[in-house]
Amino acid sequence: MFQGLSLEQAPPYKIPLRFFITGAIYLLLFAALSALFSFGIQSRFEYNSIAITHTLTIGFFAHIMVGAMFQMIPVMLGIAYKNVVRNANIIYALLNGGILLFIGGFLTEITPVMHSGGMLLLFGFLYFAYLSFSTVFESVEKDYLIKNFASSFALLFIATIFGFIALMGHSGFVSSVKFGDIHIALMLFGWVFLLVNAVSFRIIPMFFVAKEFPKILKEGNYIAILGLLFAFVYFRLADNFEALKFVQMLLGVVVASFALMTLWILKKRKRARSDLSINLWYFSMANVIIVVLLFIIDVWSGYDLAFGIAFFALFGGIYALINAMLYKIVPFLTWFHLSSSMVFEAEMSAVIPKKMMELQTYLYYLAYISFGLGFFSRYFVVAGALLFLFSSAMLLKNLITGYRYYQEYIKKKVDFSMPQA
């Protein structure tokens, strides 16, 4: 299988950056909505709660993950997306049209609007999942990396269908709770977790000069997740909650084993210096372990810990990891594209000023603490949302700074074309 980094297969620089910057804009919207509705939300099933959650998940998370895949699949695997500019534009338009209608529909409680948004999101995610799945399978060798990516995209495809069915449930066609539970499990344990696995198996050893992950995780996690999620879907549809408890516990064990191994590998890395991204990785994996513990307690005790699980999983685990990856990926891609254009003066460390990254991250930590205290008083939620609004604005500014750095240095590109006679 391809082992290096492909300069030729990389898509235009503006494609991933457009997704990244747009995602950061949705992050501002998430913070604003969190502050606005902080005193009114009592349940995860309320329409305002669904709108806010999806502003973070499909507004921010999905934009970053989709944009990253358009760049990282070609770079990591040496396999190019076909017609990448056209396909990226189609997916970008479908996702953004869908997100705005979907969120607007839930906030205004206008069913046709949320259904229209759901339809656009259905087409956008199915198209991206199919395109990515077919792209990775063009590799000659089907090793663990290909299989992890392919499994992630396949589960995204299925999760999207269940999500749309759950949306239809808000009109009384089916049980939105049952299909929503399946949608969430497939998205988090399937699409997100396996994608994080696939990226981590290559990125952590490369960026952090760390050891390889054990073979059992690289070749076993995706098999375990596929089997357990198949069982989850079957037992949830059958309302067999006793069997479902064991499946959920085993899913937690798989996730916890990955988080613990990631912490161990990062701790044993060759360059053991303190680093902003490393600290965010530590923070993310610690939150993942907390999520697993809460998840198991929720399953076996009967206590409803849904808000706590959502907070530590989404805002603590996934967000921190994406934040960490952005501060590695954006400088690397900027340098990568400039170098491929024969511009060698660019330095990765200069793409985004370190102090600006630190300020944004510290604001995030403060927002996290304040949100956590929100379990005792909703006033802390308002404070946390405002702090996160500033943090999100800083993240947006930093991403734009990286893009402007590229625009400035690409002017130095040497044109080797022969003059016309």
Domain-located, residue 53: yes
Predicted local distance difference test score (pLDDT) of residue 421: 44
Rounded to whole angstroms, how far apart are CA atoms 289 and 267?
Answer: 16
Predicted local distance difference test score (pLDDT) of residue 346: 82
Cβ–Cβ under 8 Å, residues 414 and 340: no
Predicted local distance difference test score (pLDDT) of residue 3: 47
Residue 7: band (very low, low, confident or very high) from pLDDT cuts 50, 70, 90: low
Domain-located, residue 353: no
Domain-located, residue 293: no
**Domain range spanning residue 62?**
1-141
Positive or negative: CA dihedral 96, 41, 300, 311: positive
Domain-located, residue 83: yes
Q: For the segment 213-231, what is each residue's pLDDT rounded down to a tens digit?
A: 999 999 999 999 999 999 9
Q: What is the DSSP string of 348-386?
A: HHHHS-HHHHHHHHHHHHHHHHHHHHTTT-HHHHHHHHH
196-199 — which CB contacts under 8 Å span 24+ positions?
196/321, 197/148, 197/152, 197/221, 197/222, 197/258, 198/145, 198/148, 198/149, 198/152, 199/68, 199/72, 199/76, 199/325
Domain-located, residue 120: yes
Q: Using the 8-state DSSP alphabet, how is residue 412 labeled?
A: G
To which H or E segment does residue 337 belong? helix 319-340
Number of domains observed in the structure of the chain: 1
Q: What is the DSSP string of 276-293?
A: HHHHHHHHHHHHHHHHHH
| Alpha carbon distance, N-terminus to C-terminus of the chain | 44
Count of other CB atoms within 10 angstroms of residue 169: 16
Domain-located, residue 232: no
Rounded to whole angstroms, how far apart are CA atoms 306 and 296?
Answer: 12
Q: Percentage of residues in the chain with pLDDT exceeding 70?
A: 95
Contacts of 283 (CB under 8 A, 6+ apart): 316, 320, 365
Domain-located, residue 45: yes
Cβ–Cβ under 8 Å, residues 360 and 398: yes
Q: For the segment 283-329, what is each residue's pLDDT rounded down to a tens digit?
A: 999 999 999 999 999 988 878 888 899 999 999 999 999 999 999 99
Domain-located, residue 310: no
pTM of the model: 0.93
Residue 160: band (very low, low, confident or very high) from pLDDT cuts 50, 70, 90: very high
